[in-house]
A and B are shown apart, each in its own frame.
Chain A
Amino acid sequence: MSTGLPKEYYRLLEELQTVDFVLLELSLYLDTHPDDPQAIAQVQQFYLRRQGLVQQFETQFGPLQEYAHSPTVMGWPWAEMPWPWQV
């Protein structure tokens, strides 16, 4: 399944994972420090970066999320995606 995936797939996915990790860490931090304006500003900054990356990834490689939270123009790519344990 992982054969034939372009380098760009892994590059974008890794960048997305990095940004997601920052957002996850900020979330847990804010759960116990909800009044830190600096952390809130960082969330906003990384949220925007994530949006750009998600759009780039999804237009090239298909949906990242379930429940049709991603744009679906033709067909139902969810059924054909390589899954995390296949790449």
Chain B
Amino acid sequence: MKVSKCDPRLAKYLIEQYGGADGELAAALRYLNQRYTIPDKVIGLLTDIGTEEFAHLEMIATMVYKLTKDATVEQMEAAGLGGHLVDHGFDLYYHNAAGNPFTVACLTAKGDPIANLYEDIAAEEKARATYQWLIDITDDADIQDGLRFLREREVIHALRFREAVEMLKGYQEEKKVF
């Protein structure tokens, strides 16, 4: 992950994808949790995408870390990270851009594979939209590069989840026959 400058203001926004409702942590936890009860043919997909989200979480963390590691207390304060500094110092923390701590209240598990997969698709689309906002808010070319990569991953994930819905629709119709 290449980050060329110190920019705590940007870090404050990026943290949304670390501890925010549509961020990478939420995505990983949501998908991995759904695996136990989903029909067998979709477990592999949920495992693969859920694990990939943890890799993305580390990419976001790396950006945040590199953007803040050389910042002064004054720069952190000026970026609106004074509150963060008082509670966490230069540690990362799972909270959103507004500073609210991560909560699993943003996740659901409906006990219904189709409902769960539609939530996954919505989550991917929301993450994609968040990445777009982040790309628009920065002019740092290196960061934009990383964010574009992550945005494209959300597009692929949404596509694969849509295909999984089609696979399961067939499966559910089969089940209704009995």
Contact = CB atoms under 8 A, between A and B. Distances in A.
A65 interface: no
Contact of B160 (A32, A84, A85): A32
A27 B46 CA distance: 11
B65 A85 contact: yes
A85 B45 contact: no
Nearest to B163: A32
B17 to A, nearest CB: 15
Given A25-B156, A84-B1, A85-B1, A31 B48 contact: yes
A21 B163 CA distance: 20
A81 interface: no
Interface of A: 24-25, 27-29, 31-33, 84-85
A85 B61 contact: yes
B58 A28 contact: no
Contacts, number: 32
Given A24-B52, A84-B58, A84-B62, A32 B167 contact: yes
Contact of A31 (B44, B58, B62, B66): B44
Interface in B16-48: 42, 44-45, 48
Contacts of A85: 1, 58, 61-62, 65-66
B48 A27 contact: yes
A67 B65 CA distance: 25
Contacts of B164: 31-32
Interface of B: 1, 42, 44-45, 48-49, 52, 58, 61-62, 65-66, 156-157, 160, 163-164, 167
Residue in A25, A27, A32 with the greatest tally of chain B CB atoms within 10 Å? A32
Given A31-B42, A85-B1, A85-B61, 19 more contacts: A24-B48, A27-B48, A28-B48, A28-B49, A28-B156, A28-B157, A28-B160, A31-B44, A31-B160, A32-B160, A32-B163, A32-B164, A84-B1, A84-B58, A84-B62, A85-B58, A85-B62, A85-B65, A85-B66
10 contacts: A27-B48, A28-B49, A28-B157, A31-B42, A31-B160, A32-B163, A32-B164, A84-B1, A85-B65, A85-B66
A85 B55 CA distance: 12
Nearest to A30: B44
A85 B163 CA distance: 34
B18 to A, nearest CB: 13
A29 B45 CA distance: 9
